[in-house]
Structure 1
Amino acid sequence: MARVLVTGASGFIGRHVAMQLSRDGYAVRATGRDAGRLASLGRYAQTVRADLATDPLDALVDGCTAVVHCAALSSPWGRAEAFALANVEATARLLAAAARTGVARFVHLGSPSIYFRFADQYDLDESFQPPRRWITAYARSKWQSEQLVRGADCGRLHTVILRPRAVFGDGDQAILPRLLAVAGSGRFPLIHAGRARIDITPVESAVHAIGQALQAGPASRGRAYNISNGTPVQVRALVQSLFEQLQMQVRLVPVPRALAVALAGAAELAAHCRPGRPEPRLTRYGVGVLGYSQTLDIRAARRDLGYAPALSIDAALARFAHAWHAGRSA
């Protein structure tokens, strides 16, 4: 039986990956930094608490035929040094351990945040030139980690990079819960009147793509692939559907795009002046991802990985709403 190491298994995507690979017949070794959340995976995986940036890794990787690297520090705000350690140094150490222990396949989760610009962008393919100035340290660190993974593809080690866009679902703490937190007041600022078109990805589709990447042929070696559901949605339609599913009465308040970006910039400047530089409630990146269109071309993933979305967006929103209500009533 093939054994797969899943990193970041105490987090949202990694947890789903560990459970699904176990159901698919893999022996799973799951690692993360939250011992409590790892313990709940006991029926699906052998669990090992570890910090990829500092702990010895050879024993963690030894005996595994593949690694699925989901672990990352993901935030629109934070110190560059923290992102470099968690996302770049940890990836470099994990790749080195994989090479030393004879791992055959390394699937790495990159991020479409690298594409971000203050401009509408449609049908972006995987070709990419880094900007002269990054909007977030997170995006820069994810590009740097991708470069390491691409460079490690040689000999026995076959590497694949996936860039899943806006993954949401049961256990998500970053995408839909942030929208709901803003809507808690009964009002939701709709940047650019919600006209931006964006791609989002049910976690079930992202997990399916990972499973396909573990089996993909030689054409996928060292390549990056966009992953989404391939059905862009308008922000207004997305939030309306979300609020309807959750039976929330929320007033949508149009906000000009330029004004929202300016207010976020002022909030960031103020945060830089505070002790510890706490994350402001409004960031330029947060404004940008809802105010500017960004859609992805996923034809390469369909061609090389045999990828197809596993769940429709409407069905995924309904599933999220059910889990949300169940969690609040528990």
Structure 2
Amino acid sequence: MTATSYFLTGGSGYIGRNLIRSLTAQGHRVVALARSDDSAARIEALGAQVFRGDLLADNLADGMAGCQVVIHAAADTDHNNQSRSQYQTNVDGTLNVLNSARRAGIKKALYISTESVLLDGQPLHQVSEDHPLPRRAIGEYSRSKAAAEKIALNCADDDFTVVVVRPRFVWGRDDTTALPQLVDAAKSGQLAWIDGGHYLTSTTHILNLCAGISSALEHGKNGEVYFITDAEPVEFRQFATELLATQGMTAPDKSVPLWLLKILAWGGDMISRLSGGRLRGPVTRQSLATSAVEVTIDISKAKAELNYQPVVSRAEGLAELEHHSW
């Protein structure tokens, strides 16, 4: 195996931390972008080198010197944000990262996108990569990530290979996003099932995502998009209940109707838009589209073109979580 030098954005985030572990374990060198002292310390502790700066810095190419591949994992994932800053981070930041990679002489980039680019508030059943983007995004996160994905794909040419990976509902060890939020909601008594929660969802264990990214880097075709998930979908309520059980918690029985939350989300989005993101409602259309209806993914393309297969089963991932608490 030939060692490769990677430049990674989002290295202190959930996906980034696990990518550093995966890549360094394979003998690769990782240089990761860090904005703060805390981020730099976490990156160094994982065995990567640090380049201080942010996504919009004009000297990113300097940090990429000597690297062969860029992995762009950084993003503002706030599902309640209606401000210009999220668009700048996700869209302008992506353009700057990829343009900087070109200036540094890098020939390959992998962009981590999301199934959220397809969300329109309606159920999505076993969608594949050729499913069209909605004419109007459900929220700012979806809108900015879709725009960033288009930029990434438009950068692909004969001299610059760009591959896009879309995970859905990333979970597992070291989770600092989904599981802690779920636990906090359950502890505060705010957790309730939407229309009972009896709809399917696809999920992506963090180690399956790392394996999928490695496969995409090796086998991905230039200018192509690949979904990566745990393969088989699961009922949303069942999976959330199992996640809570790993932390010794019992899921609630209460449920709220989707129609009521849609009204609240519409009003909340309006308030947020009018206030420039300074005021927020209790729920957003973006968050509802993510977790209130079926969203299941077909990964046939990744299996066929990337030779991707999940390396961790859902049962194995849940068993691992039983040894960690938040």
User: Same fold per TM (> 0.5)?
Assistant: yes
Amino acid at match of 2:252: R
Give the match for residue 41 of structure 1: 43
Give the match for residue 99 of structure 2: 96
Give the match for residue 210 of structure 1: 213
With 255-264 and 134-143 compared, the bigger mean Cα shift is at 255-264
Q: Can you give the 5+ residue segments of structure 2 that lack an aligned partner in the other structure?
A: none
Q: 1:246 to 1:130 in 2, by over 3 A?
A: same
Q: Map of 1:33-182 to 2, 5 A cutoff?
A: 33-42=35-44, 44-182=47-185
Q: Map of 1:141-290 to 2, 5 A cutoff?
A: 141-186=144-189, 188-216=191-219, 220-271=221-272, 277-290=278-291
Root mean square deviation of aligned Cα: 2.0
With 163-172 and 23-32 compared, the bigger mean Cα shift is at 163-172
Deviation string, structure 1 residues 120-165 (Cα, Å, up to 9, x no partner) = 2211011143323211111111111111111111123211000010
- What is the count of residue pairs matched by the alignment? 323
Deviation string, structure 1 residues 55-109 (Cα, Å, up to 9, x no partner) = 4111011111001110111111223421221111111111112112221210100
Give the match for residue 307 of structure 1: 308
With 75-84 and 265-274 compared, the bigger mean Cα shift is at 265-274
d(CA) in 1 for partners of 2:134, 2:161: 28
Deviation string, structure 1 residues 223-279 (Cα, Å, up to 9, x no partner) = 011111111111121122122222113322122221222233334445557696244
Is the 8 Å Cα contact of residues 81 and 277 (structure 2) preserved in structure 1?
A: no
Is the 8 Å Cα contact of residues 187 and 253 (structure 1) preserved in structure 2?
A: no
Is the 8 Å Cα contact of residues 82 and 277 (structure 2) preserved in structure 1?
A: no
Give the match for residue 27 of structure 1: 29
Is the 8 Å Cα contact of residues 167 and 200 (structure 1) preserved in structure 2?
A: yes
1:40 Cα deviation from its structure 2 partner: 2.8
d(CA) in 2 for partners of 1:132, 1:125: 17
Amino acid at match of 1:63: G
Is the 8 Å Cα contact of residues 188 and 252 (structure 1) preserved in structure 2?
A: no
Q: 1:159 to 1:272 in 2, by over 3 A?
A: closer
Q: 1:134 to 1:17 in 2, by over 3 A?
A: same
Secondary structure of the residue aligned to 1:54 is coil
Q: 1:137 to 1:247 in 2, by over 3 A?
A: same
Secondary structure of the residue aligned to 1:188 is coil
Is the 8 Å Cα contact of residues 68 and 108 (structure 1) preserved in structure 2?
A: yes
Q: Can you give the 5+ residue segments of structure 1 that lack an aligned partner in the other structure?
A: none
Secondary structure of the residue aligned to 2:146 is helix
Is the 8 Å Cα contact of residues 92 and 148 (structure 1) preserved in structure 2?
A: yes
Please give the TM-score of this superposition, normalised by the length of structure 2. 0.92
d(CA) in 1 for partners of 2:63, 2:88: 19
Question: Is 2:14 the partner of 1:12?
Answer: yes
Is the 8 Å Cα contact of residues 124 and 294 (structure 2) preserved in structure 1?
A: yes
Is the 8 Å Cα contact of residues 264 and 281 (structure 2) preserved in structure 1?
A: no
Amino acid at match of 1:3: S
Please give the TM-score of this superposition, normalised by the length of structure 1. 0.91
With 228-237 and 50-59 compared, the bigger mean Cα shift is at 50-59
Q: 1:96 to 1:278 in 2, by over 3 A?
A: same
Is the 8 Å Cα contact of residues 187 and 252 (structure 1) preserved in structure 2?
A: no
